[in-house]
Structure 1
Amino acid sequence: MLKKLSRMVLAGCLLGASLFICLGHTYAVEAEQDLAPHAVSAVLMDAGTGKVLFEKNPHLSLPPASITKLMTMLLVMEAVGQGKITLKDPVRVSEHAASMGGTQIFLEPGEQMSVHDMLKGVAIASANDASVALAEFLGGTEGNFVRMMNERARQLGMKNTHFQNANGLPAKNHYSSAYDIALLSREILKYPLITKFTGIYQDYLRQGSKKPFWLVNTNKLVRYYQGVDGLKTGYTSEARFCLAATAKREGLRLVSVVMGEPDAKTRNAEVAGMFDYAFNQYTSHTLYKKGDVVAVKKIEKGDHRTLVIRANQPITILVKKGEHPQSYKKKWTWTTLQAPIKPGQSLGKIQIEKEGQVVQELELVSTVEIKRANLWTSIKQAIGEVLFLPDELKETE
């Protein structure tokens, strides 16, 4: 009987591993000089914390051109992660998808290509035809997929964004902003396959067939700037030259977005300069590694009494070079942790402070349902906790 009670209590503890941490956005501009003088709009952001290091007209709504494809790729990767589709699934090309102009991989109506290869064509070569084929595969129609894009943008807090198509070809009422694209870039960085593709300079599709296709990355910084492994270029005569780029060195990952640049050379030079500024000024310090225990909390009257809250991804803070990470303090605030608790319910937050000022905020959100315990369950939990709960699983913070 006692062994059974012990197993039941530990099961309640391990349930907490399914909680996750959402990073709150801290908006603070550090750079005083104009790092992108020729851009109409620009943002330099620390990908780990969301802290803005430089901004120029960050919320100005502008045509994003092919940077639009970041949202298309994000929705595909999220569908893969949710098990709705697989990377091996064949995608059939419609007449509509095959008719796209601009950059393409020259898909033919009726042709079939895997989600994996279509995604590669979008990520590396900015293929308009593959973008629409994926949109139709996932949404049924491109129009329905666009509704999915706009809903996801709303969820991500992209307040100055509205999509009209899946590839960024010119369309009325199709716009975004440098800050919104930076938010989108941070989200897509959760999927390493994307940077695996966008970090490739050249590759092939249809190898071994009669129609092999040579892919060349439209983002030349992948080849010429140390640490760059994405993300997406864009150009139309209306949008001019745009780029959402990411680079990583020694654990510090940055996102840089420029819109409305006069030419590709200036665009690349200004993005490289933004990266130089951040890498020279800052470093990243890890607070929690993926899987680390963040806190252990009791849920009053819950059918699972104790929850272990773990980091589902590395949690970092941005530190100026020469600063001591110890100067940053953690402050915990909890809601009333009492059953019932529903998925998506906020449990509390952690604030990272320096000299009394909040520099970063992390929200703790439940992904599980905790029901109210009946009397017999409560008695068993109480006995088991007294006798068997390990010290490392007792309530912290």
Structure 2
Amino acid sequence: MKRIWKNRYKRYIAVMVMFINSVVFFIAGTVTHGAESVKAEQTAELSEPEEAEQNVLAGLHARYAVLLDGDSGRVLLEKDGDVKRPMASTTKIMTCILALEHMKSEQEIVTASAEAASQPKVRLGVREGQQFYLRDLLYSLMLESHNDSAVMIAEHIGGSVRGFASLMNKKAAEIGCEDTYYITPNGLDASDEQGTHSTTARELALVMRYCLMESPKSQEFREITGAATQQFRDVEGRQSFSCTNHNAFLTMMNGAVSGKTGFTADAGYCYVGALQRDSRTFIVALLACGWPNHKTYKWQDTRALMEYGLKYYKKQRYDGNVGLPQLSVADGIPENGALSGVSTVKLQIRDREKTDILLREDEEPAYRTLLADTLKAAVKAGTDAGTVQLVLDNQVLAEWKVETAESIAKRDYIWCLCQLMMQFTHMNKINQ
């Protein structure tokens, strides 16, 4: 009897083990299949532009990079774009634009100091006391990236390198930079009690945007930075100089208009450049884009970012055409002229100008209406009543003013008295 019971017990245990194993395998298979399904669904959710964005970012050599819309200043793509880093000779775009904005004459003369003559390579090779025209030094600065030319310009404009740095930082703040700090006019690595000579990829792109799109001297900046070569002499005509532009991007892509390279031991290879094509302006900024022997990384990254922008971003037109409600007017005379009732006023877009916005093909901005809760009579036609904004990811892309389309008189004591008298007169006529 015991033997029979033992055999049944063993069979029972075996059946239970088989059952448990089956359940485990079933669950494992279900989980694996489920994970694969979720992964497939997540992959399927990516649009082509989103997948392209991921591929571009994954392939960048630069540790910090930004692709900027030159027209709006909107960041289109970034890789740690707000991290502060030294920016080497890309600093010189600020030096150049400040010099252009402060230059009084094409014949303005700059004299080399001992400090300027002692600058390290790369340098023009000026001697103390040697004189040059300021405009010629700007070609030396931007085409060959000469450090002594940068110091000559800084001392001439700002009185000293420190004084010029103050002008640089003031201009950066005006542009909207909050994490940029200039110490030197040439971008050589430096630190002081207030910080390190540094910027972010986003703010470097913003400075380039100012130089190209907003400065009153933007055309001169484009001419200098876009020149292939430039020859000049010192003021006395004793020594001639020839400068060649080292911005390879200018001949690398159709539409390239400007740029500046840079390198120091701390900064690594850096670059900021711009391209204009089909009414679109793209600006690329790269920081820490490799160290020797990887000098060409910046060109690979710039091309990848520019091609991404050109392929996926197009201009779309908007005019603020959105339905507007009527606003209530406190103490306003109602449309029917009654003594009581709510008065409202019609609204319209003021100067409905069409605006072209650079958007990726899968981006869908929305209109946002910001109106006053109520207006107080009397209201004249054309009174400000709010704004209509075009918004994407909580960023305002365009804005239109909203105004009243008509006038609303005030319902005051005299008007009410007149209305009562009119009604009284009307009733008397009926009773006669």
TM-score, structure 1 length as denominator?
Answer: 0.66
Matches within 5 A, 1:1-397: 31-35=53-57, 37-80=60-103, 85-172=104-191, 173-189=196-212, 190=214, 191-206=218-233, 209-262=237-290, 263-284=294-315, 316-320=356-360, 352-353=389-390, 359-361=396-398
Structure 1 pair 167–269 and aligned structure 2 pair: CA distance change class (3 A): same
- Cα 1:363–1:74 shift into 2, 3 Å: farther
Q: Say which SS state the counterpart of residue 197 (structure 1) adopts.
A: helix
TM-superposed CA distance for 1:228, in Å, is: 1.2
User: 5+ unaligned residues in a row in structure 1: which ranges?
Assistant: 1-28, 289-307, 335-346, 365-397
Deviation at 1:220, TM superposition (A): 0.7
State the alpha-carbon separation in 1 of the partners of residues 385 and 145 from structure 2: 41
Structure 1 or 2: more helix by fraction: 2
The amino acid of 1:198's aligned partner reads: T
Identity %: 25
Q: CA deviation at 1:117?
A: 1.0
Relative to structure 1, the CA distance from residue 354 to residue 225 in structure 2 (aligned partners, 3 Å threshold; closer, same or farther) is: same
SS of corresponding position for 1:180: helix
Measured after TM superposition, the shift of residue 157 of structure 1 is 2.3
* SS in structure 2 of the partner of residue 121 of structure 1: helix
Query: 1:327-372 CA distances to partner (integer Å, 9 max, x unpaired)?
Result: 87696879xxxxxxxxxxxx999664168965414699xxxxxxxx
Greater RCO structure (CA 8 Å; 6+ sep): 1
Residue 356 to residue 230, structure 1, CA distance change in 2 (3 Å): closer
RMSD after superposition:
3.4
1:7 alignment partner in structure 2: none
Q: What TM-score results when the alignment is normalised by the length of structure 2?
A: 0.61
d(CA) in 2 for partners of 1:41, 1:348: 43
Mark the structure with the bigger radius of gyration: 2
SS at match of 1:169: coil
Gaps of 5+ in 2: 1-49, 320-349, 373-383, 402-432
Name the CA distance, whole Å, in 1 between partners of 2:269 and 2:80. 16
Q: Is the 8 A contact 1:350 1:363 kept in 2?
A: yes
Distance 1:193 1:333 in 2: 43
Give the length in aligned residue pairs.
Answer: 297
Give the stretch that moved more between structures: 148-157 or 170-179.
Answer: 148-157
One-letter identity of the residue aligned with 2:288: G
Q: Distance in 1 between matches of 2:169 and 2:55?
A: 34
- Name the CA shift for 1:116/1:354 in 2 (closer, same or farther; >3 Å): same
Q: Is the 8 A contact 2:390 2:399 kept in 1?
A: no
Does the aligned pair in 1 maintain the 2:142–2:260 contact within 8 Å?
Answer: yes
